[in-house]
């Protein structure tokens, strides 16, 4: 199947899910009083837009697959997310809502966008399975609504949640892939394994899964997480981006939504 046909199928699936849209719209947060009006002049990808006033807005709390760039192929679902956003808000008014941090390191405005129908666009992308949850504290204003939207998409297996490209990978397989696949660190991953040990340092807490792979939580965000002993010995799925830290493969966890306890086939937590 060609890339164009695949992208078209994704778009059809996204727009056919009207029941998902309606359910999520009913749970959309109220538009805050401090929202500002703006006009969308361009959609750059599934999570970045250009406003008529010159601001480039990066949607908070989510991440969509990459679209094709000069030196990088499109990720599965990237074109569909952009097309959905084009249809939804291109050349239309939106309400812009900020959070604690005004901009990112690239100078982009960090914001939530509400459509003229008062839909939270960030939430809708998650509910349609076109984006994944990507909570960065302290920007957590709509964290609960965004988490619920992703959980709904997962349960209903829509969008990326039905794609083999986003299926969980064992941590032992990740170690093998990392040795040969240079693009692994560029992709959002779901990795799973059993937590073997918890190690505390002055700045971080390390969740150790294999001798060569761990997850790291900065102590400044530790209060957001439940008691980490709750995870000890359990099979966990972690979500995020892989990088190298102190000579090991590492996943930086900023929010507990990036950790999922895996139940056994009998429904029990191992």
State whether 54 and 127 are in the same domain. yes
pLDDT of residue 148: 98
Active-site choice (4, 55, 56, 58): 58
* Among 162, 182, 209, residue at a domain's last position: 162
- One DSSP character per residue, the chain reads --HHHHHHHHHHHHHH-HHHHHHHHHTPPPPPTT-EEEEEEEEEETTEEEETTS-EEEETEEE-PPPPBTTBPPPTTHHHHHHHHHHHHTTSEEEEE--S--B-TTSPEEEEEE-TT--BHHHHHHHTTSSEEE--TT--TTHHHHHHHHHHHHHHT-GGGG-GGGS-EEHHHHHHHHTT-TTGGGSEEEEEEE--EEEE-SSEEEEEEETTEEEEEEGGGGGGS--GGGGTT-EEEEEEEEEEETTEEEEE--SGGGEEEPPPTTS---
pLDDT at res. 186: 75
Six token digits for residue 7: 């992208």
Q: Give pLDDT, residue 72.
A: 76
Q: Considering the domain boundaries, does residue 268 fall inside one?
A: no
Alpha-carbon gap, residue 80 to 65, rounded angstroms: 9
pLDDT of residue 20: 45
Are 96 and 68 contained in the same domain?
yes
Q: Which of 55, 56, 108, 163 is catalytic?
A: 108
The range of the structural domain enclosing residue 144 comes to: 3-162
pLDDT confidence of residue 265: 46
Does a structural domain hold residue 226? yes
Final residue belonging to a domain, choices 110, 131, 162: 162
Cβ burial, residue 141 (10 Å; 0-12/13-18/19+): middle
CB atoms < 10 A from the CB of 248, how many?
16
Say if 270 falls within a structural domain. no
174 in the same domain as 125: no
Our answer to whether residue 108 is catalytic in this structure is: yes
Q: Do 145 and 186 fall within a single domain?
A: no
Residue 136 shares a structural domain with residue 251: no
Give the chain's residues under pLDDT 70.
Answer: 1-26, 264-270
Task: For residue 153, give the CATH number of its domain.
Answer: 2.40.50.90
Alpha carbon distances (Å) from 119 to 12, 24, 112, 123:
20, 9, 10, 8
Shared-domain flag, residues 195 and 147? no
Report the distance separating Cα 60 and Cα 88, nearest Å.
Answer: 17
User: Same structural domain for residues 158 and 174?
Assistant: no
- Shared domain for 72 and 200, answered yes or no, is no
- pLDDT at residue 184, as a whole number: 79
Asked whether residue 86 is domain-assigned, the answer is yes
What's the structural domain count of the chain?
2
Are 261 and 234 a contacting pair, CB within 8 Å? yes
Residue 146 lies inside a defined structural domain of this protein:
yes
| pLDDT reported for residue 68 | 85
Cβ(95)–Cβ(114) under 8 Å?
A: yes
Tell me the β-bridge partners of 199: 206
In terms of domains, do 154 and 175 share one? no
- 32 domain-assigned: yes
Q: Pick the last residue of a domain from 135, 162, 189.
A: 162
Q: What is the pLDDT of residue 140?
A: 98
Does residue 266 fall inside a structural domain? Answer: no
pTM to 2 decimal places: 0.87
66 tagged catalytic: yes
Answer yes or no: do 153 and 172 share one domain.
no
CATH of the domain at 183: 2.40.50.140
Axis-axis angle for helices 18-26, 143-156 (nearest 10): 150
Reported as half-sphere exposure (CB side, CA atoms, 13 A), residue 161 has a value of 20
Out of 66, 75, 119, 147, pick the active-site residue: 66
pLDDT number for residue 247 = 83
Q: Give domain status of residue 267, yes or no.
A: no
pLDDT in tens, 36-47: 999 999 999 999
Same domain, 157 and 192: no
Same domain, 63 and 178: no
């Amino acid at each position: 199947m060609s890339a164009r046909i695949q992208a078209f199928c994704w778009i059809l699936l996204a727009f056919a899910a009207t029941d998902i849209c309606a359910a999520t719209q009913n749970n959309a947060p109220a538009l805050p009083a401090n929202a500002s009006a703006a006009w969308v002049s361009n959609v750059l990808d599934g999570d970045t837009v250009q406003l008529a006033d010159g601001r480039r807005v990066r949607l908070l709390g989510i991440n969509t697959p990459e679209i094709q760039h000069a030196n990088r192929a499109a990720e599965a679902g990237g074109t569909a997310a952009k097309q959905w956003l084009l249809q939804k808000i291109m050349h239309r008014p939106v309400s812009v809502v900020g959070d604690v941090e005004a901009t990112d390191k690239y100078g982009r405005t960090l914001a939530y966008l509400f459509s003229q129908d008062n839909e939270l666009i960030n939430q809708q992308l998650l509910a349609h399975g076109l984006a994944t949850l990507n909570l960065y504290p302290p920007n957590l204003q709509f964290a609960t609504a965004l988490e619920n939207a992703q959980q709904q998409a997962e349960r209903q297996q829509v969008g990326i949640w039905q794609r083999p490209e986003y299926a969980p990978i064992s941590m032992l397989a990740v170690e093998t892939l990392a040795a040969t696949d240079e693009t692994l660190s560029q992709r959002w991953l779901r990795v799973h394994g059993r937590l073997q040990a918890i190690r505390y340092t002055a700045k971080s807490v390390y969740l150790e899964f294999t001798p060569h792979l761990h997850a790291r939580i900065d102590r400044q965000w530790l209060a957001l997480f439940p008691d980490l002993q709750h995870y000890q010995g359990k099979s966990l799925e972690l979500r995020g981006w892989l990088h190298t830290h102190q000579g090991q493969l590492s996943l930086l966890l900023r929010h507990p939504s990036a950790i999922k306890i895996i139940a056994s086939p009998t429904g029990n937590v191992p």
